[in-house]
Amino acid sequence: MEIENFKRELEIIRSHGFNPIGVSSLACVETFIFETEEEANHAHELLEVEKELIRAWWYSREGFQEALKWVEEMYNGKYKPTYLFF
């Protein structure tokens, strides 16, 4: 996974005042990670629901860690998602 794959979406997210701390391709879905659940929810509402600019999964740092565990359990440990924090 390369950060270049997320360049367009990261530009949109940042231009709307959000500050993602990481990205992932979680079960083949672009995923954006934020420090707080509040910021993740706000970014989702504005950029996906209202403006329909990005379709993705939106997580807080803590929520993403829970999602990682869920995905790994769902695939019996055979699928290890890739992710980058910055």
What mean pLDDT is predicted for residues 53-81? 92
Q: What is the pLDDT of residues 26-37, one digit of tens each?
A: 888 999 999 999
**Domain definitions of the chain by residue range:** 3-75
pLDDT above 80: residue 10: yes
Which pLDDT tens digit goes with each residue over 12-64? 999 999 999 999 998 889 999 999 999 999 999 999 999 999 999 999 999 99
pLDDT of residue 72: 87
Which pLDDT score is estimated for 35?
Answer: 98
Is residue 47 exposed (0-12), middle (13-18) or buried (19+ Cβ within 10 Å)?
buried
pLDDT for residue 1 is more than 80: no
